[in-house]
Amino acid sequence: MTAAAGRPAVAKPFDLARIRAEFPILAEPVRGGRLAYLDNGATTQKPEAVLRAMDFYYRHQNANVHRATHDLAERATLAYEGARDRIARYLGAAREEIVFTRGTTEAINLVAYSYLLPRLRQGDEILLTGMEHHSNIVPWQLIAAQAGAKVVAAPLNDAGELDVAAWRALINARTRLAAVVHVSNTLGTLNPVGTLIGHAHAHGIPVLVDGAQAIAHLAVDVKALDVDFYACSAHKAYGPTGFGTLYAKREHLEAMRPWHGGGDMIRTVSFEGSTWNDVPYKFEAGTPDMAGAIGFAAALDYIEAQGLPAIAAHEHALLEEGTARLAEVPGLRLIGTAAQKGGILSFVMDCAHPQDIGTVLDQAGVAVRTGHHCTMPLMQRFGIPATVRASLGMYNGSDDLRQLAQALHKVRSLFR
Ligand code: PMP
């Protein structure tokens, strides 16, 4: 069901009406009216192509992978490993460098426990930024506590941009790894990850990039970036929930010890000891999520069929339009005004708490997220408890932004 590995996807002309019609849930009435789905930062909706690929797998290919010799097992293995080729091609990686995980969170934990913890000594430092998601903070804190190391976070300016000079100044002889979000889920800030990787590598420091909010919106080439570890989730890129990928340079994977033990990750097992399978299988214990991999591959096919440049241009135009519309709402303050930004509009209003704003928006059929967005240190930095966040996907249009703006004017009249 996925494009054959190696065959470049041919982009169709970007046609918003056609794209929308391919996402069945967008026609779902909510609160008795039209849905304006602006919660793509939390999770994206799924196109027919992804639903069909997963359905096809269970109807025609389902069996456990890698072990059995029967026809269905062969089909399942081909489809599952074909998905690995597809994902590798999307990220510009070799297939051996693609480890399947449950998502970004598990990918980061894998690097923390399998790569960094064995190398971490008392007094060592892990360099983060002030805009990281909890999943790119807490795993590092957990291993730092075990090793007597510490987590250090570089500051942001008032626009929500990383202070790159301060980040550089925090690099020292004790820094063991730098971890940075590619696109901030709360601010939309696009970080200059290529520059950061260059600086870190000049000091021999490996870099992990959290790509959860990036891969559906901009082209990522892990080789061009020379990134050591890149983590992402399928569900934020029009694929299924509970599935994701860790890209890691092969030399790192070879040097890393296994994390989860079980079937498929071993070569031999005896009571005297076990030996490990080749990478990436060394990190994939147990029966994997075959349908998840196939759904993710279908989602990447879908993105490429629309064309990432066209998607990025569309979302950028919407970001500009949305920014202008929000500027017309009295008492509204945008949080995150970076010069380089993805399609995220986070804001607070002087008349109402984000929770109350979210409730009024919901009544108007506008789906947004309210809260700290798993970035509590960032909320502290801006001195606010929460924001309202509208986050864009390829199927959003001016009508969604109009619906949002109208509902915000209603908030204003209700809470004034
Ligand atoms: N990092 C960022 C920037 C995110 O937005 C998210 C999801 N909100 C995550 C990490 C975690 O992703 P997942 O829950 O799919 O593991």
Task: Compute the distance from residue 184 Cα to the ligand 1 centre, in Å.
Answer: 10
370 pLDDT higher than 90: yes
What are the tens digits of pLDDT across the range 56-71?
Answer: 999 999 999 997 799 9
16, amino acid identity: L
Task: Compute the distance from residue 236 Cα to the ligand 1 centre, in Å.
Answer: 8
Q: Kindly indicate the confidence band of residue 371, based on its pLDDT and cuts at 50, 70 and 90.
A: very high
Task: Compute the distance from residue 209 Cα to the ligand 1 centre, in Å.
Answer: 12
Residues with C-beta less than 6 Å from any ligand 1 atom: 103-105, 133, 135-136, 181, 185, 210, 212-213, 233, 235, 374
Mean of per-residue pLDDT scores for the chain: 96
Question: Where exactly does CATH 3.90.1150.10 map onto the chain?
Answer: 13-42+307-415
Contacts of 57 (CB under 8 A, 6+ apart): 1, 76, 79, 290, 291, 294
Q: Kindly indicate the confidence band of residue 10, based on its pLDDT and cuts at 50, 70 and 90.
A: low
pLDDT above 70 as % of the chain: 98
H-run or E-run covering 207: strand 207-210
Nearest CA to ligand 1 atom 5: 185
329 pLDDT higher than 60: yes
Distance CA 137, CA 128 (A): 7
Predicted confidence at residue 37, as pLDDT, reads 98
Task: Compute the distance from residue 176 Cα to the ligand 1 centre, in Å.
Answer: 23
Fold category of 13-42+307-415 in CATH: Aspartate Aminotransferase, domain 1 (3.90.1150)
Q: What is the pTM of this model?
A: 0.97
What are the tens digits of pLDDT across the range 57-110?
Answer: 999 999 999 977 999 999 999 999 999 999 999 999 999 999 999 999 999 999
SS3 content of the chain, % helix, strand, coil (to 5): 45, 20, 40
Calculate mean pLDDT across residues 193-205: 98
Sign (positive/negative) of CA torsion 205, 210, 211, 213?
Answer: negative
6 pLDDT higher than 50: no
Q: What tokens appear for 101 in the block?
A: 């995980």
Calculate mean pLDDT across residues 247-267: 97
Question: Where exactly does CATH 3.40.640.10 map onto the chain?
Answer: 54-304
CA distance to 41, 57, 109, 316, per residue, from 392 (Å): 7, 30, 28, 9
3 pLDDT higher than 60: no
User: If you search the block for the tokens 């890698």, which residue do you land on?
Assistant: 66
pLDDT above 90 as % of the chain: 96
158, amino acid identity: D
5 pLDDT higher than 70: no
For the CA of 182, the closest atom of ligand 1 is 3
232 pLDDT higher than 80: yes
Other beta carbons within 10 angstroms of residue 387's beta carbon come to 29
Q: What tokens appear for 273 in the block?
A: 């000891």
For the CA of 103, the closest atom of ligand 1 is 16
For the CA of 135, the closest atom of ligand 1 is 10
Q: Kindly indicate the confidence band of residue 416, based on its pLDDT and cuts at 50, 70 and 90.
A: confident
What are the tens digits of pLDDT across the range 300-316?
Answer: 999 999 999 999 999 99
Which of the following CATH numbers is that of domain 54-304: 3.10.620.30, 3.40.50.300, 3.40.640.10, 3.40.50.620?
3.40.640.10
Distance CA 334, CA 332 (A): 7
356, amino acid identity: D
Q: Kindly indicate the confidence band of residue 4, based on its pLDDT and cuts at 50, 70 and 90.
A: very low
What are the tens digits of pLDDT across the range 237-256?
Answer: 999 999 999 999 999 999 99
Calculate mean pLDDT across residues 30-52: 98
Predicted confidence at residue 8, as pLDDT, reads 52
Predicted confidence at residue 9, as pLDDT, reads 58
What are the tens digits of pLDDT across the range 127-174?
Answer: 999 999 999 999 999 999 999 999 999 999 999 999 999 999 999 999
CA distance to 49, 59, 95, 208, per residue, from 52 (Å): 5, 10, 24, 33
What ranges in 186-330 are assigned the alpha helix state H? 193-202, 222-225, 250-255, 290-306, 308-327
Distance CA 327, CA 339 (A): 16
Least confident of 1-15, 165-179, 291-305: 1-15
**Substitution candidate for ligand 1 out of 44, 131, 213, 246 with most atoms within 8 A of CB:** 213
For the CA of 107, the closest atom of ligand 1 is 16
